[in-house]
Amino acid sequence: MVTKLDVVQALLPKITVPQKSSGVAFAPSNIALCKYWGKRNVELNLPVTSSLSISLSNLGACTKVSLADAATDQIILNNEVVASNTVFYRRIVQFLHLIRPTKDTVFNVTTKTNIPVAAGLASSACGFAGLVLALADLFEWPLALEQLSILARMGSGSACRSLWHGFVEWQVGSQANGLDSYAYPLEYHWPELRIGLLLVDKSQKPQTSSEAMQCTVETSPFYSLWPKTVSQALQETHAALASKDFWSLGAVAEANALAMHALMLSSTPAIIYSQAPTLDYMQRVWRARAEGLAVFFTQDAGPNLKLLYLVKDEAKIKELFAEVQCVAPFEAVPHTAECLYDL
Amino acid sequence: MVTKLDVVQALLPKITVPQKSSGVAFAPSNIALCKYWGKRNVELNLPVTSSLSISLSNLGACTKVSLADAATDQIILNNEVVASNTVFYRRIVQFLHLIRPTKDTVFNVTTKTNIPVAAGLASSACGFAGLVLALADLFEWPLALEQLSILARMGSGSACRSLWHGFVEWQVGSQANGLDSYAYPLEYHWPELRIGLLLVDKSQKPQTSSEAMQCTVETSPFYSLWPKTVSQALQETHAALASKDFWSLGAVAEANALAMHALMLSSTPAIIYSQAPTLDYMQRVWRARAEGLAVFFTQDAGPNLKLLYLVKDEAKIKELFAEVQCVAPFEAVPHTAECLYDL
């Protein structure tokens, strides 16, 4: 069986001690319009299907990596040292093991996020993407973004889509080592598109996406039809993006998210991420749409909803959802240097 | 295409004017443990799968039918005259058309229910079952209950299971005229079993089960796996009933209900019957079970939950769910004569 280390060695046959003292990067969060739900290979985070996302502009993670003269890696998240007995710490350190040039190499990783962590807002996606980009900066790896996408994927599946802004597709690939399972940016440009974040609960979710995903794959009686469902959704999404047909885009994204949650509902044990306010938001979206407003939602492994709408309707959206946080995916993307001034 | 009238004529080649002045009957509500969701023939209410239910003892409908010397049928539901421009009225009158001995025959139908109407508590099931039994009493039809079950099915699918107490199976059948698609009682006797009704909302649901079902069949990407899912659930339910294995019974019933709601969630438009208190009740059931209590739920086309538990745990159930209405399916089943004294 192919290990993560095999893949790293295929991409980076020789990792040498960096010349630079630190590497920095920003990576945006991303929201899948066609969801990634289920792994064909758990070790390498290889997906069952392709997926397609939109990045959240300046919402994401800034990461700085430097070499440290210390006994163990230190990770600082939002100004707090992460305890070494946490899952979070171990997940990152295990990833760092893959690229340590010598066994004595020790890293300091400092990350700041401007989105809630582990609340279904793709924090691990932007976190691992930012880490990989910062490492690439530090080591000055001669790799294309598509290759870095493979590294990010091994940290967290959806992280492979967080290396770009705008629309991104993660192609499923077919190779056992996953070297053809990476993301790439799509040409579609849609400046009028907006994402509205409706945060129901910012606390960490009880079950990780990975666990929920695995439970679905193993127990849902309907999972075998998921690949066909996503494949059709991808086709419809490309068509909607190519023709800038917002109603079609919203309809396919909302249906795909609900189909994913339907799979979870049919798992044993059943997985329900929705909370009472989630249902209330859904009903409000449906009522608004029935009255003619072009608004749709998508939902990930958490209770929060993400609205899809066009800038022309922003005033109305803010009126209906006073607490909405609006994101313009094609505007004001921050540069690494700017966003990292305080790291 | 076979019509309802064809089926009635096959069962009752000649319907003559009754000798009796009235017919009376009681029919219990029933809750499916393996759900009926989807029709292969909408006209005749022929199902895609078999289903299996438990009747709710003395909760149901008492119906009296008599011949009237009037211009139009009169329907009285819970002491109120039903307006002739309602769907409810038309549904019953269309059914009565099937069995009118002469075109001048006019009926008075008086029904009392002790469950909320059209709130996902199988009111149409016990309603049509009670009507068919009352008609059989009035006309003194020489039909077996299995044959009356076919008539009830044409009024409302799940009504065909409401002609008996205890566990009942509705066999899917294969004939185009549906003469082999009827219910029959199962031998399993489980006096310790209890059903706990948790009413979230007693108001009429916005969408009938029939409409929701049809939408699911036509649009859910997962519907093609439903027949296999139910078939397996039926097998597991029979095994659990035969061995009185309550944990298995509860697990398969809960999973089957959630799978049905998953199909609805994946339909276009999505159908969500759950309301905020429904989610809360589910979480409370799951927490209680995690702490060792043998309690499961099932849910139909409405926001209400129905708990499954054993009599030994009733005190604990009442403590956890103060508002629960407890039903003992194998105890104190009322007789027709008694329940109808006030009609």
Q: What is the least distance, in Å, from the CA of B343 to any CA of chain A?
A: 41
pLDDT mean over B6-17: 95
Question: What band does B65 get if pLDDT is binned at 50, 70 and 90?
Answer: very high
> In chain B, which residues have their Cβ closer than 8 Å to the Cβ of A288?
none
At residue B123, the pLDDT reads: 80
- Pairwise CA distance, residues A132 & A65, whole Å: 10
- Pairwise CA distance, residues B272 & B249, whole Å: 25
Determine the 3-state secondary structure of A340 from DSSP.
coil
- Pairwise CA distance, residues A118 & A202, whole Å: 8
Among B257, B266, B216, residue whose Cα is nearest residue B233 = B257
First to last CA, chain B: 39
> In chain B, which residues have their Cβ closer than 8 Å to the Cβ of A279?
272, 274-276, 279
- Pairwise CA distance, residues A109 & A314, whole Å: 38
- Pairwise CA distance, residues B342 & B26, whole Å: 13
> In chain B, which residues have their Cβ closer than 8 Å to the Cβ of A220?
262
Write the DSSP symbol of residue B167. E
**A296-333: b (≥16 Cβ within 10 Å) or e:** bbbbbbbbbbbbbbbeebbeebeebbeebeebbbbeeb
At residue B339, the pLDDT reads: 59
Instruction: Give backbone dihedrals phi and psi of A25, rounded to 5 degrees, phi first.
Output: -165, 155
Among A197, A269, A321, A157, residue whose Cα is nearest residue B259 = A269
At residue B48, the pLDDT reads: 98
Instruction: Give backbone dihedrals phi and psi of A221, rounded to 5 degrees, phi first.
Output: -70, -10
- Pairwise CA distance, residues A66 & A134, whole Å: 9
Nearest to A262 among B265, B269, B282 (CB): B265
- Pairwise CA distance, residues A28 & A7, whole Å: 25
Instruction: Give backbone dihedrals phi and psi of A253, rounded to 5 degrees, phi first.
Output: -65, -45
At residue A331, the pLDDT reads: 84
Residue A274, chain B, CB below 8 Å: the answer is yes
Helix (H) and strand (E) counts for chain B? 10, 13
Residue A106, chain B, CB below 8 Å: the answer is no
- Pairwise CA distance, residues B21 & B138, whole Å: 7
- How, if at all, do strands B51-67 and A325-327 pair? unpaired
Alpha carbon A321 to its chain centroid, in Å, reads 24
Q: Looking up tokens 């189909």, which residue turns up?
A: A259
Write the DSSP symbol of residue B168. E
Kindly tell me the sign of the dihedral angle through the C-alpha atoms of B149, B153, B156, B158. positive
In 10 A of CB B284, how many CB atoms? 16
Question: Which amino acid would we find at residue A207?
Answer: Q
> In chain B, which residues have their Cβ closer than 8 Å to the Cβ of A266?
222, 255, 258-259, 262
For residue A329, the number of C-alpha atoms closer than 13 Å in the C-beta half-sphere is: 28
Q: With an 8 Å Cβ cutoff, are B259 and A224 in contact?
A: no
pLDDT in tens, B78-97: 999 999 999 889 999 999 99
At residue B337, the pLDDT reads: 46
Percentage of chain B lying above the pLDDT 70 cut = 94
Residue of A nearest to B222 (CA): A222
- Pairwise CA distance, residues A131 & A65, whole Å: 7
> In chain B, which residues have their Cβ closer than 8 Å to the Cβ of A280?
276
Q: What is the mean pLDDT of each run of 10 residues along chain A (343 residues)?
A: 96 93 94 98 97 94 95 94 94 96 94 75 87 97 97 97 97 98 97 96 78 96 98 98 98 98 98 96 98 97 96 98 95 60 59
State the greatest distance between any 2 C-alpha atoms of chain A, in Å, as a whole number.
63
CB A61 within 8 A of CB A130: yes
- How, if at all, do strands A22-34 and A296-299 pair? unpaired
pLDDT in tens, B264-320: 999 999 999 999 999 999 999 999 999 999 999 999 999 999 999 999 999 999 999
Q: Which domains does chain A have, with CATH numbers?
A: 4-190 (3.30.230.10), 193-327 (3.30.70.890)
At residue A337, the pLDDT reads: 47
pLDDT in tens, B174-222: 999 999 999 999 999 999 999 999 999 877 667 888 899 999 999 999 9
Question: What band does B342 get if pLDDT is binned at 50, 70 and 90?
Answer: low
Burial-class residue B175 by CB neighbours within 10 Å (0-12, 13-18, 19+). Answer: exposed
Residue A269, chain B, CB below 8 Å: the answer is yes
Question: B335 pLDDT exceeds 60?
Answer: no
Q: With an 8 Å Cβ cutoff, are A265 and B262 in contact?
A: yes
What is the secondary structure of B231-292 as a DSSP string? Answer: HHHHHHHHHHHHTT-HHHHHHHHHHHHHHHHHHHHTSSS------HHHHHHHHHHHHHHHTT
The CA-based angle A58-A60-A62, given to 5 degrees, is 100
pLDDT in tens, B108-167: 999 998 887 655 667 889 999 999 999 999 999 999 999 999 999 999 999 999 999 999
